Chains A and B, each alone.
Chain A
């Protein structure tokens, strides 16, 4: 098993390398002088020249790549000319809000969607099933920011239950922290719920169609046990897989949600960086998010070993 885990970890390295190459190439494929683009619109010729030398932009492209990779591996993601700080520092500052938002979203999504999917599969073809499938398609179709405005309007403004915007650090008090995160998390979780509920339902359906389920029922096992201990356990793999894949959707959603709710996290940082054409930050954020995505999927893959004893790589 450890050999498998080690091999799996090693397998992520080429993916990360490709990501690094892609991000590196992205900037150099733009028309125009990469140094001028990195320096930003307000830079003068002297600053642009300084950047050119520090990044080795006048050197052959392989050398440039080497310098860049070397920097990244030592944690130097470059410097943002817009904020005048190191990108790595910026990401560090903005990490907590995004992490909190993402975690709460995933928790809400899983807690809500898995039971929904189970019930839909259990009562396959019934009204609940149809309602859930309808809701999930709706969940995919309504954009996150429209949903956000609707929720703000109803819950924050009309009912006055929760704050309109902002983020409170957990260090400043757990309750305010949670209050500020509820609305954004619920908004973001909708699309995730739609996705996970569908997959749960589908894989539960498949599991419930198996012979051992009929056997268990024939043996008089209580239905709840049938559903959870047998069916769900066997349906777990696809569900966990989609949670991993859904992180990509989550990241995209975080960008919009933080923008609407004024949460100073990585999503906001991305949008601000893009609006300011702050390329070092854009590159840094993309690298970071991709790294997280690959990591999450690695954990998902590794969890298969525990979820499904049949899987022996």
Chain B
């Protein structure tokens, strides 16, 4: 073989390789390829509050009510409902045509069982069920809730958009113990989970549910019609490297990046083939203290840390892109009804000098702060570094320990002393809907060790105010109660709010149909 023939053959091969790239890049218009923000390992959205599991839930399950983009509760699976005059009996009627993926119709019994299971795990659910006497399903398409006393948030609870969402499952699955994970994944939602194609750590596959009957209204938040225009959705769990994700999106190897890392957003915005959407509600960062052990068992020490934590350095370091973040002096999501700046002076009007003085005055004895840092979540991995630096400047001793998020999640549930495997502080982010009122906001549950969320703050005043809030139906009074709760929360420093940010989604421009959401919803999408 002469040189020229070899060269010709190689050149041909090279063009063939390169040429096929564009054809393959766009992929099948009926298949939507999404890269979610994390790995999916827990398929039970009641067992955990992890957003990945919630998003999975929204694919295959449906809900009784939902919240639209203005945070109004609207019916989804429910056709009509009514409350008795004394507001202690609620009756609901389900829509026609609701069917589970195994062909069986959705009945009141399924709903009752699903709600009972949800009510054992979810913060809002647990709160609601303290009011509930019993539930029943007098007819296949009807179910009723009997209350011991008036509850001010029944619909808000049932229409809760974020973790844990009261998804409706078949009765036999919903009867699984709430502290064990379910084994089957059958819902009545717009997609069907393809169990045989699920490869943990590799990909999750959903196919369109042909029997799903969407509502007539346009999609908004978690309400409205959940139309599906693609045949198949694939979640790519293997692509975890932030840079590789961006590269893949730019080359058209995937269609949607659920949460591109912040530094890449400007480049993605500039790319003519990609559109960046900010349709999800803002998230709020927070630093959480462990109230059980030194040094944060003292409110004065906590206040000193709070005074040192100006919001701007955290936001700048972690998010960096100016139009994606803003400071928010409230413990509730800014822009929602209960948010205000009351009581937040100790944080917003402080500086490092004040923090140093407060620390000295508190009698801090030099106990090192065990601060947990997650290494694998690009949305929150830099916060602990900033926290450590600020605390050190204020005079704290800090022991920064790095671990992966899963380990952190496990370790934060331990009540042991920090030097025996416990912890003193961690930082995280909550999505707006999860913290916009005092009942849902887990950090404001101050029942001490009995409270559900890690950190176990204790303050009887807040508990009292929360109880009042739960029973209140007048909006104006609720607002006043929320303010009072916030003032007290800042006083005792339950946690430190660290500002708000958007986590945009990036999609190829041939993907249409995205809408304002309260999570990551993948219905209504088309690939042109």
User: B-contacting residues of A (Cβ < 8 Å)?
Assistant: 40-44, 80, 82-85, 90, 93-94, 152, 156-157, 160-167, 175-176, 179, 182, 259-264, 268-269, 272, 275-277
**A41: chain B residues within 8 A (beta carbon):** 406-407, 409-411
One of B41, B240, B247 near A156 (C-beta < 8 A): B247
Asked whether any CB of chain A lies closer than 8 Å to the CB of B450, the reply is no
Asked whether any CB of chain A lies closer than 8 Å to the CB of B181, the reply is yes
One of B201, B239, B251, B407 near A83 (C-beta < 8 A): B201
- For B15-41 the 0/1 string (1 means CB < 8 A from A) is 001101100100000000000000101
Asked whether any CB of chain A lies closer than 8 Å to the CB of B404, the reply is yes
Given contacts A41-B411, A262-B238, A268-B238, A85 and B200 within 8 Å (CB-CB)? yes
One of A42, A44, A156, A164 near B409 (C-beta < 8 A): A42
The answer to whether B202 touches A94, judged by C-beta atoms less than 8 angstroms apart, is: yes
Asked whether any CB of chain A lies closer than 8 Å to the CB of B199, the reply is yes
The answer to whether A42 touches B179, judged by C-beta atoms less than 8 angstroms apart, is: no
Residue ID in chain A nearest B410 by CB atoms:
A41
One of B17, B199, B201, B248 near A179 (C-beta < 8 A): B17
The answer to whether B238 touches A264, judged by C-beta atoms less than 8 angstroms apart, is: yes
B370 → chain A, closest Cβ, in Å?
Answer: 15
Given contacts A42-B410, A264-B201, A166 and B253 within 8 Å (CB-CB)? yes
Given contacts A84-B41, A164-B253, A42 and B406 within 8 Å (CB-CB)? yes
**A166: chain B residues within 8 A (beta carbon):** 236, 238-239, 248, 253
Assuming A268-B238, A276-B407, what are 19 further A-B pairs, CB within 8 angstroms? Answer: A40-B410, A41-B407, A82-B406, A84-B200, A93-B200, A93-B202, A152-B247, A160-B18, A163-B21, A163-B251, A165-B248, A260-B244, A261-B244, A262-B241, A262-B248, A264-B202, A268-B201, A269-B201, A276-B404
In the assembled complex, the Cα of A156 lies from the Cα of B376 at a distance in Å of 25
Given contacts A42-B409, A179-B20, A164 and B199 within 8 Å (CB-CB)? no
6 contacts between A and B (CB under 8 A): A42-B413, A93-B202, A179-B21, A260-B241, A262-B238, A275-B406
The answer to whether A164 touches B406, judged by C-beta atoms less than 8 angstroms apart, is: no
Residue ID in chain A nearest B249 by CB atoms:
A164
A273 → chain B, closest Cβ, in Å?
Answer: 9
Residue ID in chain A nearest B43 by CB atoms:
A84
A280 → chain B, closest Cβ, in Å?
Answer: 13
The answer to whether A161 touches B21, judged by C-beta atoms less than 8 angstroms apart, is: yes
Asked whether any CB of chain A lies closer than 8 Å to the CB of B14, the reply is yes
One of B17, B24, B41, B201 near A161 (C-beta < 8 A): B17
**B24: chain A residues within 8 A (beta carbon):** 163, 176, 179
Interface residues contributed by chain B, number (CB under 8 Å): 35
One of B203, B241, B253, B376 near A163 (C-beta < 8 A): B253
In the assembled complex, the Cα of A166 lies from the Cα of B239 at a distance in Å of 8
Residue ID in chain B nearest A262 by CB atoms:
B239
The answer to whether B410 touches A262, judged by C-beta atoms less than 8 angstroms apart, is: no
In the assembled complex, the Cα of A82 lies from the Cα of B39 at a distance in Å of 11
The answer to whether B181 touches A84, judged by C-beta atoms less than 8 angstroms apart, is: yes
A-contacting residues, B339-391, CB 8 Å:
376
Residue ID in chain A nearest B22 by CB atoms:
A160
**B14: chain A residues within 8 A (beta carbon):** 161
**A93: chain B residues within 8 A (beta carbon):** 199-200, 202
The answer to whether A275 touches B248, judged by C-beta atoms less than 8 angstroms apart, is: no
Residue ID in chain A nearest B247 by CB atoms:
A164
**B18: chain A residues within 8 A (beta carbon):** 160-161
**B43: chain A residues within 8 A (beta carbon):** 84
One of A44, A83, A157, A261 near B41 (C-beta < 8 A): A83
In the assembled complex, the Cα of A179 lies from the Cα of B21 at a distance in Å of 9
The answer to whether B406 touches A263, judged by C-beta atoms less than 8 angstroms apart, is: no
Residue ID in chain B nearest A258 by CB atoms:
B238
- For B409-430 the 0/1 string (1 means CB < 8 A from A) is 1110100000000000000000
Residue ID in chain A nearest B237 by CB atoms:
A264
B5 → chain A, closest Cβ, in Å?
Answer: 19
The answer to whether A164 touches B244, judged by C-beta atoms less than 8 angstroms apart, is: yes
**B181: chain A residues within 8 A (beta carbon):** 84
Residue ID in chain B nearest A81 by CB atoms:
B41
B102 → chain A, closest Cβ, in Å?
Answer: 21
In the assembled complex, the Cα of A84 lies from the Cα of B47 at a distance in Å of 14
One of B247, B404, B407, B409 near A157 (C-beta < 8 A): B247
B347 → chain A, closest Cβ, in Å?
Answer: 32
B20 → chain A, closest Cβ, in Å?
Answer: 6
In the assembled complex, the Cα of A165 lies from the Cα of B35 at a distance in Å of 13
The answer to whether A276 touches B406, judged by C-beta atoms less than 8 angstroms apart, is: yes
**A176: chain B residues within 8 A (beta carbon):** 20, 24
**B410: chain A residues within 8 A (beta carbon):** 40-43
**B413: chain A residues within 8 A (beta carbon):** 42
In the assembled complex, the Cα of A262 lies from the Cα of B199 at a distance in Å of 14
**A80: chain B residues within 8 A (beta carbon):** 200
**B406: chain A residues within 8 A (beta carbon):** 40-42, 82, 275-277
One of A94, A179, A261, A277 near B407 (C-beta < 8 A): A277
Residue ID in chain B nearest A167 by CB atoms:
B238
Given contacts A40-B410, A161-B17, A162-B17, A83 and B200 within 8 Å (CB-CB)? yes
**A84: chain B residues within 8 A (beta carbon):** 41-43, 181, 200
Given contacts A84-B41, A272-B39, A90 and B21 within 8 Å (CB-CB)? no
In the assembled complex, the Cα of A43 lies from the Cα of B238 at a distance in Å of 25
In the assembled complex, the Cα of A259 lies from the Cα of B201 at a distance in Å of 12
In the assembled complex, the Cα of A156 lies from the Cα of B244 at a distance in Å of 11
**B236: chain A residues within 8 A (beta carbon):** 166
In the assembled complex, the Cα of A93 lies from the Cα of B203 at a distance in Å of 11
The answer to whether A275 touches B404, judged by C-beta atoms less than 8 angstroms apart, is: yes
One of B179, B200, B238 near A44 (C-beta < 8 A): B179
**A272: chain B residues within 8 A (beta carbon):** 39, 201
In the assembled complex, the Cα of A163 lies from the Cα of B20 at a distance in Å of 11
**A94: chain B residues within 8 A (beta carbon):** 202
Query: 8 closest pairs, A vs B, by CB?
Result: A41-B410, A83-B200, A264-B202, A164-B247, A264-B238, A262-B239, A42-B410, A165-B244
In the assembled complex, the Cα of A245 lies from the Cα of B256 at a distance in Å of 43
In the assembled complex, the Cα of A275 lies from the Cα of B24 at a distance in Å of 33
Residue ID in chain A nearest B44 by CB atoms:
A84
Residue ID in chain B nearest A39 by CB atoms:
B410
**B251: chain A residues within 8 A (beta carbon):** 156, 160, 163-164
A181 → chain B, closest Cβ, in Å?
Answer: 12
Given contacts A42-B406, A165-B253, A166-B248, A160 and B241 within 8 Å (CB-CB)? no
The answer to whether B21 touches A160, judged by C-beta atoms less than 8 angstroms apart, is: yes
In the assembled complex, the Cα of A23 lies from the Cα of B96 at a distance in Å of 57
B103 → chain A, closest Cβ, in Å?
Answer: 26
In the assembled complex, the Cα of A147 lies from the Cα of B488 at a distance in Å of 56
